[in-house]
Copies of this chain bind each other. A is one copy, B any other.
């Protein structure tokens, strides 16, 4: 596993600016990874991902294992070449999708049996296989297989799953053959601070090059999410990168950075874009609203994305009403550009030690989705994060 994978450059209260060193280039942190579940960030070319402001993407081992199959991608020279992405990349272990998308999963110490959500075929995933698949895919950062629990699960159930996650983490470490991929552990422990503490202590003792916080944003109130993030991040080694899995709305990124998180991924910005919900400096707006039918101005005059530089809100509104695919593209570019700019501004404010000012001003101006909508949107654990998980 790589040494010197991460360098902390500057802190501003608990917020951190750093650099990740990968075989596919240096990535500044905080970093947001667009989600390319099926070896494509939905609707975009690799060049557009770069142009929109991203140096690192996430792909899902579960999806790629089922289709086109790990061996196809291996034969094509790995995932970077297959999807023509020469930037940095992280793959997850497949665990989250097995628990959230696949029916009939059965778990034992050995591994997890699941059925494909595509054709119902039965499969078996172990920590060793999760590493083998991720070595074949060849991402720069790979993840241990963990056991995920749901919001509301009992302390006992969460504790048992956490213990198994720890045993699996050790097996993943042992299974790793290559030397160039950074393998991150995943801290579990549900909504129980003392379990989070146990998990962090157990996993940091194993000296992984990075640590993820898993099992959050699964339906719990936002205060709970951030209380857990704060407690857990404080237990992680300062010199290692911290990755909050599956979180990435604008307001959540700001709040998580404030608590010491470096790395994010989330399908939400692109998914809500495809539903017509667009980020602006004042909050989310829906392009399908009648008000936009004749708006002779970009959706967000402050935005420098390709869509806002070239098209009116009226045109975008038309594309959505006419079910034109270009609408999905432009909305995706817009929301991802918003996130890229947000993360850049966050980093600059950390470097200037003005992050708390930025945080206050941003959250005062930005109208986040209300709690109810958020819970509806993200809370359906076991139905999870749609197909693109």
Contacts and interface: CB of A to CB of B under 8 A. Distances in A.
Given A40-B319, A293-B68, A319-B40, A76 B314 contact: yes
Interface stretch (A145-153, A164-172, A238-246, A323-331): A323-331
18 contacts: A42-B325, A44-B326, A45-B306, A45-B326, A67-B318, A68-B293, A68-B314, A68-B318, A72-B293, A75-B294, A76-B314, A77-B296, A82-B312, A82-B314, A82-B315, A83-B315, A84-B310, A325-B329
A322 interface: yes
A93 interface: no
Count of this chain's copies in the oligomeric assembly: 2
A42 B324 contact: yes
Nearest to A296: B76
Nearest to A44: B326
B322 A38 contact: yes
A63 B318 CA distance: 11
Taking each of A77, A310, A318, which has the highest tally of chain B beta carbons within 10 Å of its own beta carbon?
A318
A310 B84 CA distance: 7
Interface of A: 38-40, 42-46, 63, 67-68, 72, 75-77, 82-84, 293-294, 296, 306, 310-312, 314-315, 317-319, 321-322, 324-326, 328-329
Given A40-B319, A45-B329, 17 more contacts: A38-B324, A39-B315, A39-B318, A42-B325, A43-B326, A44-B326, A45-B326, A68-B314, A72-B293, A75-B294, A76-B294, A76-B296, A76-B314, A76-B315, A77-B296, A82-B312, A84-B311
- 4 closest A-B pairs by CB: A68-B318, A38-B322, A43-B325, A40-B326
A83 B311 CA distance: 7
A16 to B, nearest CB: 34
Contacts of A293: 68, 72
Nearest to A311: B84
Nearest to A328: B325
B72 A324 contact: no
Nearest to A310: B84
A345 B192 CA distance: 70
Nearest to A67: B322
A120 to B, nearest CB: 17
Given A83-B315, A318-B67, A296 B42 contact: no
Nearest to A306: B45
Contacts of A296: 75-77
Contacts of A44: 326
Contacts of A63: 322
A42 B77 CA distance: 32
Taking each of A326, A328, A329, which has the highest tally of chain B beta carbons within 10 Å of its own beta carbon?
A326
Contacts of A321: 67-68
